[in-house]
Structure 1
């Protein structure tokens, strides 16, 4: 039994989600116009704040995809890269500071470019859980021991999550 989603199914899912969002927005507007307007203004302001980060990461991913061909991505992050690919992806994720809404499309592009699911899971999970860049701030608020312990445990859990994803994908 194949669990692959066809492009037509993906389009239908996307259209369904847009329809649900439009319906909810219309219902909200009919229920309370002022609150809906305020919420839309806040959402647009948040979008404006996020857009520069999002565009930078998209440009970096696009440049990486243009420079790195599928063979290179597969060599470094592909299914056959093994433990070294998982470690490399997890280390890059641990030192990278990008929001999740940017990381997931980047991960999808890397998967389409030939990266392995385990390696991408290691990248995304360490990106979300480990904070090497934010470590000085964590030390300031939580102390050295707690910050290092949290990051070390988070890194271990991110590797466990990657192994679990790899195991489930291989089923």
Structure 2
């Protein structure tokens, strides 16, 4: 239902954009199409990789490492894995759902997702160059702290 509302809203805005400037809207759609086609191989390979991992990792193993009794090691490992990975949210969110379906606890999965989207160890070289050392350290440090706070809050409330 939410996806339908979002898509209808997007189509409405697209229609309004066509009314304002037909030429600019067609140009923007053309750019979006080529960007999407450029991302397609990466997205398909990530989906395939996740499928292969889930095919060889039994749910019992996932439950053993990420489920069961709450452990700081679970949350720390999931947070570190999320901070180091560079997976688009489009792929990470269904992955999180699959982990929960396989028996993972909410807190480590939340730590994985929040650090994945908020902390950027992979992007540190670019951040250092563009933002400087001080801002990069503050941003990533605070993002890590807040990501863990969010993960623990999700674990408490769910």
TM-score of the two chains, using structure 2 as the length reference: 0.83
Moved more, 148-157 or 158-167: 148-157
What does residue range 39-54 of structure 1 map to in structure 2 within 5 Å?
39-54=28-43
State the shift of 1:127 in Å.
0.8
Cα shift readout 1:25-55 (whole Å, capped 9, x = no counterpart): 7844873654443333222112112212211
List runs of 5+ in structure 2 lacking aligned partners: none
CA distance in 2, matches of 1:28, 1:131: 36
Name the SS of the counterpart of 1:115 in structure 2.
coil
TM-score of the two chains, using structure 1 as the length reference: 0.77
Moved more, 24-33 or 97-106: 24-33
Name the SS of the counterpart of 2:71 in structure 1.
helix
State the shift of 1:157 in Å.
0.8
User: Does 2:115 correspond to 1:126?
Assistant: yes
Name the SS of the counterpart of 1:80 in structure 2.
coil
Match of 1:149 among 105, 118, 138: 138
CA distance in 1, matches of 2:124, 2:18: 46
Partner of 2:72: 83
CA distance in 2, matches of 1:142, 1:13: 36
- In the alignment of these two chains, the number of paired residues is 157
CA distance in 2, matches of 1:137, 1:22: 32
List runs of 5+ in structure 1 lacking aligned partners: 1-11
Partner of 1:62: 51
CA distance in 2, matches of 1:86, 1:152: 16
Please say if residues 90 and 126 of structure 1, whose CA atoms lie closer than 8 Å, have aligned partners that are also in contact: yes
CA distance in 2, matches of 1:74, 1:130: 25
Question: Judging changes above 3 Å, is the alpha-carbon distance between structure 1 residues 41 and 133 closer, same or farther for their aligned structure 2 residues?
Answer: same
Match of 2:12 among 16, 20, 24: 24
